[in-house]
Structure 1
Amino acid sequence: MPGRKILGVPWPVALFFLGMMMPTSVGISLGGLRLSAYRIVLLAMFVPMLMMLLSGRRVRANTFDALVLGHCLLALASLIRWGGLQQGIESGGIYIVEFAGAWLMGRVYIRSYEDFRAFARAFVLTVVAMVAFTLPEALTSVHILHDGLAAISGGAPAPFIEQRMGLERTFGPFDHPILYGVFSAAAFSMAWFVIAEKRLTNLRGMSQVAGVGLATFLSGSGGPLVVLVMQGFVAAWERAFRGVQGRWLMLLGLFALVYLGIDLFSNRTPFHVFVTYFTFSTTSAYNRILLFEFGTAEVARHPFLGIGLGDWQRPVWMSDSMDNFWLLIAMRHGLPAWAMLVGLLLGLVIASARRRGLPEPWKRARHAWAFTLFGIAVAAATVHLWNALFVLFLFLIGSGAWLVDAPVPQTRRKRIVGALPLPAMPIRPRAPVARLF
């Protein structure tokens, strides 16, 4: 059973993804706790995955696992401080299952290039296949997947959302077009680097890249398009400067210059400019700016443990919806918990980038993984990652941890005529990650 796979993907990962693509109405209620399909999978697999990590049977714990644990403990403390012991443990428990469970799902079961490639192929295939349902949805305003699944489970139909560009904003099987859009956009780098292998002449692969782009467009949401555009930009940069040393430092310098230029020559802050031009609606852009101003003020008042799930100070006419994932994490759980999540993301990317001598397919996988996270992380400043989108983000972070510590395939040295064959020598990471166990 542990080695069984579905479409080449370990069966727990396949079940987890199937659960993510179900509306929240597909699940069960246990007391006051809502257990959606993906939560049931994470609950069932949490202890086995944790034991695999602690025992070193599939993977050995390291500093990044400690950051996940630290974030979860701080989040639990903030929720207990907000709601008392019982309510805090209930809310904190399910948060830990989602945060640490999704991380472990990627960390434990995606352990090699073969695992990552199989996951990427299944992910892209899923996104492209859903277009067969969401394209008619955009044209007919009939939410085929969402309403069909909700009707089976007795859930509510998709809520009314205004059209954009004359098209219905598509839900797919998700609870909101943003969820569907980001889920689809997250597959772009997987399609380009792993399926198409960066070759424009790979017609089959490029058709899947186009399918991912179409799926993202059909959501009619600005956040998913930001995810797509950011991935496309860094992919184009990598292709244009692939032979240049220090090209990523050059890119960081370019971002810094753009930020400085906007700050010097605009009467608005760079954040205000970014939000204005990366959203469809002027009203939603203005609302996000207000959310940022009042949200950061709340963080300043509660910097260490945040406010939990409590209400935050704002004008009475403002909605409590927080369309900024990074700000919401800091506001709910405090700056130390926020710093641990950011440290986990950046630390993994930097550690994987420092490995040398990787085979070409591994390098493409590294680009696919890092660029996907970059796109989502940038868009998360204008959207909230909730429900399936939240666990997808944590799973994707964990799915690239193998790039840091997985042994590189052995290579053979060139043989000299008349010389004895030399044994294959493994390539080791230049800066191994500190181990806890």
Structure 2
Amino acid sequence: MTPTAAALTTLSPAGLPTARRSARLRAAAPAGYRPEPRAALVCAAILLGGLLFPSEAAIKAGIVLTSLRIALLVLLPWSLMVLGRKLTRGGYVPVMSDVVVLLLVLWMELALVVTQGPAAVASASGLRPVEFLSAYLAGRCLFGTRAGLEPFARVLLVVAGILLLMAMIDLASGENIFARIARQVFGVDRGALYMTQYRFGLPRARASFEHAILFGTFFATCATLLYHLLDSPTLKAAAVALCLAGALSALSSAPLLAFMLFVGFVTYDRLLCHATWRWTAFVGVLLYGLAMLLLLVDDPLRTLIDLFTLDPQTGVYRFLIWEWVAYNLQASPFFGIGTRDWVRLSTMVSSVDALWLAQALNAGYVGTALLALSVPSAFFVWTPRATPRRDDPWHAQARKALTIALVQLCFISFTVFFWGTAWAWFALLIGIRAGLSEARYLGPAARGEDGAGGLAARLPARLARPAGAALRRPLAEEVRRADA
């Protein structure tokens, strides 16, 4: 008896209704969660495409709506829908940052109500926590797996190239020309902080960003992400060179130091790539160096400022800001002072050049603590039961990239205030890191590594067909004929 005849004997007419009934039951059962790479590509284009329009290209509708804010408001319901699918179809594993970020957003809104009144929730300051939540959820739900992060990296490379071209036009024109054109077209003047700034007689490029230092910060972190997430060595080298040019065009110390951090991390990692103790040793040496600096140097902060800034006077000025912010918080340590002007010397401007200080003024020490906790909490997962880890080299590489990028942002944040684009970028990277932490406990289907979102989708149809499919085809044809 041939194999086909034996198979037909096994599938008797009496057994066919049972087979059909089983197929109907499987179809009626809820499908497991599966990410959608094409949707992630569209979302990445919407979100990162919002970075290409100048912050002055805004519409006043009670509050100033920039292209990035509009993109975040569009993606918020999309991200919530994906989160609902994850919760109902078994694709959700709790990460500590989910709770911390929610508490942060609620506390920031509560602090506004306490210090400014309920009407402040509908202002631009009230939209700031919503921006953080939307960007975090987008990273958490849309780009937290390989199926979402690979399209994100491709779009990011294109957007970074366009932004660098805009920066070169800024330098060639001698001013932030895109900002000036947007002000003339939209008629939105966002203050002297958004005007062209110069250093060493050269204009500081910022393209579509709110400030040159935020523009350079973006490129410093992009170098880390693109280096680790792109596959081609040629693309890696081109992306790093592109990001270095972007960081240099901002003419700012903090982005250049952050780029040097990236180079140092990568060099150290490549030299000791087979040593499992390399990061433990790195942290130990770093702590030892800081201890020696504090013990042996009379004025360690002033020494660091003199060594690692292009203009040491700017560092001294930032140190003075820290002292005056602490003075302002003595009366309201928990909720801060909201958006009210803060007490300072008459020679000081109102800008607070540190993310943590501005957060403390707006939401008190509690808001600052929650913001600080949102970063490390993205690394820790609550598993409801003994769930096995499913590590693979690509996700390990992606987690390393996001960790280094967050270290860069935290380093810069002590001398730079993140608002607008940089604020959303910070939340987005925290969300992606949380998604990658969750991905370690998801199955292949929930990570998009099989079926439509996995490797099979990137292979030719002949190679993507499972082994043995040609042998099973005659049997499948006979079953369909019997059903008919």
- TM-score under structure 2 normalisation? 0.75
Change (3 A) 1:189 1:35: same
Q: Does 1:229 align with 2:268?
A: no
Give the corresponding residue for 2:338.
308
Give the corresponding residue for 1:420.
none
Q: Per the alignment, in what secondary structure is the counterpart of residue 135 of structure 2?
A: helix
Give the corresponding residue for 1:176.
211
Query: What is the RMSD computed on CA atoms of the aligned residues?
Result: 2.8
Q: Does the 8 A contact of 1:222 with 1:280 survive in 2?
A: yes
CA displacement, residues 72-113 of structure 1 (integer Å, 9 cap, x when unaligned): 111111111111122245355312221111111111211421
In the alignment, the residues of structure 2 paired with residue 191 and residue 45 of structure 1 have an alpha-carbon distance, to the nearest angstrom, of 23
Displacement of 1:25: 2.2
Higher relative contact order by CA 8 Å / sep ≥ 6: 1 or 2? 2
Q: Does the 8 A contact of 1:25 with 1:36 survive in 2?
A: yes
Q: Does the 8 A contact of 1:133 with 1:144 survive in 2?
A: no
In the alignment, the residues of structure 1 paired with residue 287 and residue 342 of structure 2 have an alpha-carbon distance, to the nearest angstrom, of 32
Q: Does the 8 A contact of 1:227 with 1:378 survive in 2?
A: yes
Paired residue for 2:131, among 85, 98, 102? 98
Displacement of 1:281: 1.4
Q: Per the alignment, in what secondary structure is the counterpart of residue 419 of structure 2?
A: coil
CA displacement, residues 106-135 of structure 1 (integer Å, 9 cap, x when unaligned): 112114213112212221232134333323
Alignment of 1:36-435 (within 5 A): 36-54=66-84, 56=87, 60=92, 62=94, 63-91=96-124, 93-155=126-188, 159-164=195-200, 167-195=202-230, 202-270=233-301, 272-349=302-379, 358-406=391-439, 407=442, 409=444
Q: Does the 8 A contact of 1:69 with 1:100 survive in 2?
A: yes
Displacement of 1:269: 3.6
In the alignment, the residues of structure 2 paired with residue 182 and residue 73 of structure 1 have an alpha-carbon distance, to the nearest angstrom, of 28
Q: Which moved more, 1:386-395 or 1:275-284?
A: 275-284
CA displacement, residues 278-298 of structure 1 (integer Å, 9 cap, x when unaligned): 322122111101011222333
In the alignment, the residues of structure 2 paired with residue 25 and residue 168 of structure 1 have an alpha-carbon distance, to the nearest angstrom, of 18
Give the corresponding residue for 2:8.
none
Q: Which has the larger share of helix?
A: 2
Q: Does the 8 A contact of 1:145 with 1:173 survive in 2?
A: yes
Q: Per the alignment, in what secondary structure is the counterpart of residue 401 of structure 1?
A: helix
Q: Does the 8 A contact of 1:276 with 1:286 survive in 2?
A: no
Displacement of 1:276: 3.7
CA displacement, residues 305-339 of structure 1 (integer Å, 9 cap, x when unaligned): 22221222322221121111022212321222222
CA displacement, residues 36-55 of structure 1 (integer Å, 9 cap, x when unaligned): 11112222332443344356
In the alignment, the residues of structure 2 paired with residue 129 and residue 38 of structure 1 have an alpha-carbon distance, to the nearest angstrom, of 16
Displacement of 1:20: 2.7
Amino acid at match of 1:133: M
CA displacement, residues 119-158 of structure 1 (integer Å, 9 cap, x when unaligned): 1222123213433332343244153543444444345696
Change (3 A) 1:184 1:145: farther
Displacement of 1:4: 8.2
State the identity as a percent: 23
In the alignment, the residues of structure 1 paired with residue 49 and residue 406 of structure 2 have an alpha-carbon distance, to the nearest angstrom, of 21
In the alignment, the residues of structure 1 paired with residue 438 and residue 37 of structure 2 have an alpha-carbon distance, to the nearest angstrom, of 24
Change (3 A) 1:350 1:386: same
Change (3 A) 1:357 1:53: closer
In the alignment, the residues of structure 1 paired with residue 170 and residue 74 of structure 2 have an alpha-carbon distance, to the nearest angstrom, of 34
Q: Which moved more, 1:34-43 or 1:140-149?
A: 140-149
Displacement of 1:218: 0.8
Q: Does the 8 A contact of 1:180 with 1:219 survive in 2?
A: yes
Displacement of 1:24: 2.2
In the alignment, the residues of structure 2 paired with residue 381 and residue 331 of structure 1 have an alpha-carbon distance, to the nearest angstrom, of 15
Q: Does the 8 A contact of 1:102 with 1:394 survive in 2?
A: yes
Displacement of 1:386: 0.9
In the alignment, the residues of structure 2 paired with residue 142 and residue 299 of structure 1 have an alpha-carbon distance, to the nearest angstrom, of 38
Q: Per the alignment, in what secondary structure is the counterpart of residue 192 of structure 1?
A: helix
Amino acid at match of 1:16: L
